[in-house]
Amino acid sequence: MNVPENLHYAESHEWVNPENPDAAPVGISDHAQAELSDVVYLELPAVGTVVAKGDSIAVIESVKAANDIYSPVSGEIVEVNEGLVEAPEPINADPYEAGWMVKIKLSDTSEIEGLLDSAAYQKILS
Amino acid sequence: MHRSPLHEKHLELGARIVPFAGWEMPIQYTGIVAEHHAVRKDVGAFDISHMGELEISGKTAKLFLNGLLTNDVSVLSDGEGQYTLMLNEEGGVIDDLILYRLDSERYFLVVNASKIDEDVSWITSQLEQGIALTNHSDGYGGIAVQGPKAVALWKSLEPEMPLPERNGISESAGGTVLCRTGYTGEDGFELFDSVDRIGEWFDRIIAAGATPCGLGARDTLRLEKGYPLNGSDLDGTHTPLEAGLGFFVKLDKPDGFIGSEALIAQKESGLPSRLVAVKLTGKAPPLRHGYEIADPSSGAVLGTLCSGSLSPTLGVGIGMAYLPAAFAKIGTQFSILIRGREFPAEVVKKPFV
């Protein structure tokens, strides 16, 4: 299972890349996309939505079920990956790059420390 | 929780296991969409060991079954089968099943896993002198091999053991039961054998090129063909006439059957509802069991989806729902409510595909 070192992970299997705290991309992990398999529909929040860590920010649907995506951080949604709404395949094919779902302007960068690093996330997967 | 005799093989193949009708069964191996397409275009194999196998025997078995089931048993010759339903006195569905005639005194019934106990107790309560019911469900495992290449696969495996004709059944001397039926709308067959031998069949069928397929693909395949699932689309409160299964209900059988009087009365007074096929008309999420269907002009809720999914073939959400007869016409427009938003949908003809 691919778990990049530069990302931070929530136990609910979302990742965030805090490198640019004004527009930090968020998506779901390789493990999560494999568990879902065949994402067929994605519902994204409106740009400008203010979210708290743990809020549901998106709904992702496979053939079998609908699942909430929870924000790993607090902040404001500054960009959404509209292309995924038309064609969600990158969520399965490229979950850490083309499959990013939203970008969040972090309101509290210290929250990052409360997330799992790559090693800790790999541990909960094993 | 029951465990299939093929359980270990599913784990080796990387299946995800879920509870279903009291059984631990594979929902998917690699993915529902790929498994679905394998069955539509090539050949797939499903574990159907959870399904129930009953045998009814006796000199007057034909007469007994004709009073128990909706279809006309008397048209069956040895080795033939038919889709049929077992109803309660009110005409509601207890179970839908395939009945096969092995010979004039022996019939084989394949019933839904979730209904085995209810079926057995219902049939037992109806038993007459000289009729015996045997429940083989614990002794048999089963595999459904489905798809345009299913027959060729079997011929390559067992050239000396011909498949029965469409809807038919055959028994080998060794005890293997072959049925030319399925739940996917594709050609294919269902193989039943003892739990000791079913694993070897499964290995050989997979080695011969069948894609292992789980319950997820089984559901999308049957829904695309508009086949009802008992417990979702059929229940004790709706009749097979409302479910659109009138073809399998022979109200002209001379002695009637359990539930026939209720059906005749319902036919005379008019059907209160109909099971319709609904399809989303634009880009929208997959449909799910339980979503509400509303009249777009008044906003009144007309019914809820009893089945729903995404059609992998069409790429849109499809489902089935009981709607008041006045709203059941092909082309009627609706809204389906999904997480508080309205998505346009319409009644379409079955099958979807």
SS3 content of chain B, % helix, strand, coil (to 5): 25, 35, 40
For B28-74, write each residue's pLDDT tens digit.
999 999 999 999 999 999 999 999 999 999 999 999 999 999 999 99
- Please report whether residue A1 resides in a domain: no
Which of B41, B23, B28 is closest to B146 using CA atoms? B41
pLDDT at A37: 87
User: How many structural domains compose chain A?
Assistant: 1
- Please report whether residue A80 resides in a domain: yes
pLDDT at A1 over 90: no
The DSSP symbol for A20 reads S
Q: Which residue of A has its CA nearest to B282?
A: A86
Residue B215 sits at the chain A interface (C-beta within 8 Å):
no
Q: Which residues of A touch B339 (CB under 8 A)?
A: 43, 59
Whole-number average pLDDT of chain B:
97
The letter for the amino acid at B342 is: E
> Average pLDDT for residues A79-108, to the nearest whole number?
97
Distance of residue B315 Cα from the nearest chain A Cα, in angstroms: 9
- Please report whether residue A25 resides in a domain: yes
pLDDT at A122 over 90: yes
Best A31, A33, A40, A42 residue to mutate vs chain B (most B CBs within 10 Å): A40
> Average pLDDT for residues A100-106, to the nearest whole number?
98
> Average pLDDT for residues A45-64, to the nearest whole number?
96
Residue B32 sits at the chain A interface (C-beta within 8 Å):
yes
The DSSP symbol for B39 reads H
Between chains, do B339 and A37 touch, taking CB under 8 Å as contact?
no
Q: Name the burial class of residue B14, with classes exposed (0-12), middle (13-18) and buried (19+) by CB atoms within 10 angstroms of its CB.
A: exposed
- Please report whether residue A13 resides in a domain: yes
Task: Report the residue from A59, A63, A86 with minimal CB separation from B310.
Answer: A63
Question: In chain B, what are the domain boundaries?
Answer: 2-47+138-224, 53-135, 272-348
Q: Give the domain range for residue A28.
A: 8-125
Distance from C-alpha of B306 to C-alpha of B321, rounded to nearest angstrom = 5
Q: Measured at the alpha carbon of residue B103, what is the angle toward residues B101 and B107, in degrees to the nearest 5?
A: 40
Residue B120 — pLDDT band, cuts 50, 70, 90?
very high
The CATH number of whichever domain residue A18 belongs to comes to: 2.40.50.100
Percent of chain B residues topping a pLDDT of 90: 98
Was domain B53-135 assigned CATH 3.30.70.1400?
yes
Pick among 3.30.1360.120, 3.40.50.300, 1.10.420.10, 3.30.420.10: CATH of B2-47+138-224: 3.30.1360.120
- Please report whether residue A81 resides in a domain: yes
Residue B211 — pLDDT band, cuts 50, 70, 90?
very high
ipTM: 0.86
> Average pLDDT for residues B249-259, to the nearest whole number?
97
pLDDT at A126: 87
Which of A107, A93, A98 is closest to A39 using CA atoms? A93
Report the DSSP beta bridge partners of residue A103: A25, A79
> Average pLDDT for residues A40-50, to the nearest whole number?
97
Which of B199, B232, B45, B59 is closest to B132 using CA atoms? B59
Distance from C-alpha of A17 to C-alpha of A21, rounded to nearest angstrom = 8
pLDDT at B298: 92
- Please report whether residue A2 resides in a domain: no
What kind of fold does domain B272-348 have according to CATH?
A: Elongation Factor Tu (Ef-tu); domain 3 (2.40.30)
Parallel/antiparallel/unpaired status of strands B169-171 and B140-146 = unpaired
B177-190 burial, b for 16+ CB within 10 Å, e for fewer?
bbbbbbbbbbbbbb
For B288-343, write each residue's pLDDT tens digit.
999 999 998 999 999 999 999 999 999 999 999 999 999 999 999 999 999 999 99
